[in-house]
Structures are given as C-alpha cells and as structure tokens.
Structure 1
Amino acid sequence: MKKVLVLYYSQSGQLQSVMDQIVAPLKQCDGIQCDYQKIEPLTPYPYPWPFYRFFNVFPEAVYLDGCPVKTLQIEEQYDLIVLGYTSWFLSPSIPVTGFLQSDQAKKVFNNTPVVTVIACRDMWLMAQEKMKTMLKDLGAHLLDNVVLTDQGKSLYTFVTTPRWMLTGKKDAFWFFPRAGVHENEIASTSRFGDRLCKALQHDEERDSLPLLNNMGAVNVNGKLIATEHIAHRSFLIWSKLIKKAGPQYSRGRNVVITIYVIFLLTLILTIVPLNMLVRKLLSPFRKKSLAKAVKYYEQPSGK
C-alpha cells in the first residue's frame, strides 16, 4: 500500500478546489492511501483582509517568518507528498512556511519526494525558489511543480487580485476580467492526479525523476522574470524598513506601510509599464538568455 500525503493552505478556497481535483483520482486509485490535510495556523488569518492587516504580514512573509500552526494528524512516513501553496508577497504563504519550519515537517518530509502545487498571480518564481530551499533543508526531494496562474493580463491582475484579497470580490468589472484561475484550468488539474496514481502504482516516485513531464504543468512568462527579480529586491528592502518601524499593527509600522503603498502604486502606474515596454523592445536581443532563464524556472516538470 502506497501512502500519499496531500497538504495545503487556502484562504479563498481556490487552492482547495485545485487540490480537490488532484486528490480525487488518488483517492480512487487502487493500492493508494491518500491523507488529505489542511494546514491551519493557530491564529487564523482573515479573509477578506483588512487593508493594514494585509500589509502588516508583508515583512514576515518576505523573510519567511512562519507562524505557529496546528499539529496535523498524520503519519511520520509517506511515499509521496503533494504540497499546495499560494504566494504571499513573492513568498510561500506564512502558514505553509510555518508548517515547513515545524518539528513535524522535519520528520515527515525527510527523504521524501514532493510535488508542489501553486495557484496565484503570475509571479511565483521567487516563492518557488524559497520553497526549493526549505524543502532541501528538510531533506526532501522536489520531483515536480504544478503552477496555475490568474486569468487576465499581468497589468489587470495588479487590480483584480488586490480587490479580491481586500474585498472578497472576484467578479469581472469594467474592462477587468474575473480574478483568479479560470475554472476550466482548475478542473483540468485532475490529470495530474491520474498521472501520479499510475506513477505510484509502478514505483516511479522512487527514481527521483519528474513524473509530470510534457503535461503542461508549468508555463513561465519570460517577460516577467526580470520584473519579479526587481520586485523581490524591493520587497526585501521595504520589509526590513517596515520591520524596523515597529511590531505588527503598531502605529510606526502602519505609517511606513502607508508610505510604501503610495510608493508601490506610483511604481505600478509609472515604472512598471515603462519597464515592460523597454524589456519588450530589448527582447529580440536577449532571446538566448531569456530562453535559458525560462528553461530553468520550468524545472523540474517543464511544460
């Protein structure tokens, strides 16, 4: 009997819908025991988020300061772990980080193959780089990565995603598309569960090789790679400043957050579009380096 552990943390329910699709074939698979668990912080985070509370977790997310989480009722050893997470400020969500930093994770992830599943905006590269490091520190082996990103152009999601997080509204409005991953794309993720089922039945997870090659698991937008790197460097600087201003929810921290949000909005309305235009003009001269970067971030699963 093969044992699979599926873990996730979801606020809006979108990631849970994705994980449900992946889990369904595994639960029906002969010879597979599938334990499906939600990571829960000891102190729940709100959804929708109040404005200042949303930005108050910004520094902790960026610097991987995980929160205390509830102990899961799981076994200590599995043949495969499927870990679903969302990106908070270009980093894994704080509850997922908190669990990966727990003593329980140290036991269950050690020497175990892992498939990560991400559902978020179109910027997830830095979050996955941090995830790779945390998994390596736990002694886990990353076999595959599945990524689903919000529908709509990148500039549109600068509006639709914050609106969704801060108000709970994800419907289309004006010329903006509906927020979140398209329902058809979510439904199609069951194919990954089917493939994992067959792989486990044939002991393929023991080979430490990707199981989801040529299945459209990852699609990297090369145009956003440099933008995400720049944004992450900015996040590191501002997170440090916000942390130094005071503890969470303090007046000092909120003052710096206000300054940062004004800076961020100015950046989005001016520098970001200009940067995207410049990079588009330069892209014909950077095809080789861009292709190399795309190939790297598509690993281990590839397209």
Structure 2
Amino acid sequence: MKKVLVLYYSQSGQLKGVVDSFISKLYDEEIEVDIKQIEPLRPYPYPWNFYEFADEFPEAVHMDGCEVKELEDLADSYDLIILGYTIWFLSPSTPIVGFLKSDQAKKIFKDKPVVTLIACRDMWVLAQEKMKALLGNLGAKLIDNVALTDQGKGIYSFVTTPRWLLTGKKDAFWFFPPAGISQRDIDEASRFGERLKIALKDNKEKEGKPILQNLGAVNVDGKLIASEIIATRSSKIWGKIIKLFGKKRSFGRRVGLTLYSIFLVLLVFTIVPLNIMVRKLLNIFQKEKLRSLEIKYEKPSGR
C-alpha cells in the first residue's frame, strides 16, 4: 500500500479546487491518500480589507512565516508528498512558509519525494526557487512541479487579482477577463494525478526523477523573468523599510504601507509601461537567452 500526503493552504478556495482535481484520479485500492490543510493559529480573512492585505507584505517577502497548528492523524511515513501553495507577494504563502519552517515539517519531509503544485498569477518562478530552498533545508527531494496560472495574463491581473482578493468578486467586468484560473485548466489538472497513480504502482517515485514530464506541467514566460527579478528586489527593500515604521497592525505600519501603495500606483502607470516597451525591444535580440532561462526554470517537470 502506497501512502501519499497532500498538504495545502487555500484562502479563497481556488487552490482547494485545484488540489481536488489534481488528485481526483490518484485514488486507488493500492494508494492511501491523506489530505491536510495547513491552518494558521491566527486565521487570515477572506475577502481582505486593504490594510490587512497590505500588512502581510513585509513578512511575506522576507518569508518570516507564521505560527500554524500541528497536523494530526498522520501516518508514520509517506511514499510521496504533494504540496499545494499560492503566491503571496512573489513568495510562497506565509502559512506554507510557517509550516515548512516547523519541527513537524522536518520529520515529515526528510528524504521524501515532493511534487509542488502552484496556483497563482503568471509570476511564480522566483517563489518556486524559494520553495526549492525550503525543501532543501528539510532534506526533501523535489521531483516535479506543476504551475496553473490565472486566465487574465499580464497587466489585466494587476486589476482583477486585487479586486478578487479585496471584494471576493472574480467575474469578468468591462474589458477585463475573470480572475483566477480557468475552470477548464482546473478540471484538466486531473491528468497529473492519473500519471502519479501509474508511477506509484511502478515505484517510480523512488527513482528521484520527474514523473510529470510532457504533460504541460509548467510554461515559463521568459519575457517576465527580468520583471520578476526587479520586483522581488524592490519588494525586499520596501519590506525592510515598512518594518521600520512599526509592527503589524500599528499606526506607523499603516503610514509605511500607504507610502508604498502610492509608490506602486505611480510605478504601474509610469515605469511599468516603459519597462514593457524596453523589454519588448530587448527581447527581440535575446530569444536564445530567454529560451535557456525558460528551460532552466521549467525544471524538473518541463512543458
């Protein structure tokens, strides 16, 4: 009997739907699946109000994590771990980071093969690099990664995602597409669980090699990598600055967050459009470099 542990933290419920679809064809008489949701000791709201949402920014970008409840009723050991997570401010979500830094995670993940499952906007590459480091610290072996991204790409998600998080509304409006991952992409995620089921029966997870290749597990857009690197560096700097204004939920912190919000709005309407135009020109001469970066960050599963 093979044992699979599925871990995730879903705030809006979208990731839960992705996880459910992902494992829907994994179930089998020879495979036991334990599903556990990570629970923060202090629950996060959904929808957020603006300052509660922004208040998570400094700690998220610096991956401070948060206190989480200990998981109960676990098996002594698992043959495979599936870890579902979302992206908060270009980093793995704070509850997931908090759990992966816990003593319990050290026991669960050590020497275990792991498949990561991401549900997010189209900028997830550097968050996954951070996830690799977290898993490495636990002694786990990342064998596959699947990333499902929002149907509203690029500039649209600057509007649709905040609207969804702050109001709970994800429907299409005006000329904007719906927020979140398309239902079709969610439904089709079942193909990954089906492949894993076959592999587990053949003990493929023990080989430490990718199982989900040639299934369209990830699709990195090389043109976004430079922007993601710049945004990540900027976020870390601003995160440090905002922390200096005060602790979470303090008046000083609100002042810092307000200044950062003004900076972001100005950035989106000035520097971002200019950066997009410059990048488009540069990308014409960097096609080979961009493709090599895509291949690098699409590992281990690839397209």
Counterpart of 1:271 in structure 2 is 271
Is 1:71 the counterpart of 2:98? The answer is no
Tell me the equivalent position of 1:53.
52
Would you say 1:80 and 2:80 are equivalent positions? yes
- Measure, in 2, the Cα distance between the counterparts of 1:18 and 1:60: 26
Q: How many residue pairs are counted as aligned between the two chains?
A: 302
Query: Could you report, residue by residue, the CA deviation over 1:143-180 in whole angstroms, capped at 9, with x for unpaired residues?
Result: 00000110123100000001101111101110000000
Paired with 2:179 and 2:250, the residues of 1 have a C-alpha distance of 31
* Corresponding residue of 1:95: 95
Partner residue, 2:256:
256
Counterpart contact for 1:75–1:108, Cα < 8 Å: no
Please state how far the C-alpha of 1:263 moved relative to its aligned partner.
0.4
For residues 137-286 of structure 1, the aligned pairs below 5 Å read: 137-286=137-286
* Alignment gaps of 5+ in structure 2: none
Shift of 1:251: 0.9
Partner of 1:290: 290
> SS at 2:25's partner residue?
helix
Is 1:84–1:117's contact at 8 Å kept on the other side of the alignment? yes
Q: Distance in 1 between matches of 2:242 and 2:75?
A: 39
Runs of 5+ unmatched residues, structure 1: none
Fraction of identical pairs, as percent: 61
Q: Paired residue for 2:34?
A: 35
Report SS of the residue matched to 2:174.
Answer: coil
Conserved 8 A contact 2:3-2:79: yes
Paired residue type of 1:267: L
Question: Secondary structure of 1:132's match?
Answer: helix
Look up the SS of the partner of 2:63 in the other structure. coil
For the residue of structure 1 that corresponds to 2:270, the secondary structure is helix
Q: Distance in 2 between matches of 1:254 and 1:76?
A: 45
Structure 1 residue 69: Cα displacement: 0.8
* CA–CA separation in structure 1 for the residues paired with 2:38 and 2:136: 20
- CA distance in structure 2 between the aligned counterparts of 1:38 and 1:131, rounded to whole angstroms: 18
Preserved contact between residue 25 and residue 193 of structure 2 (Cα < 8 Å) = yes
Q: Is the 8 A contact 1:223 1:276 kept in 2?
A: no
Indicate the RMSD between aligned Cα atoms, in angstroms: 0.8
Cα distance in 2, alignment partners of residues 31 and 98 from structure 1: 32
Is the CA contact 2:8–2:36 (under 8 Å) kept in the aligned structure 1? Answer: yes
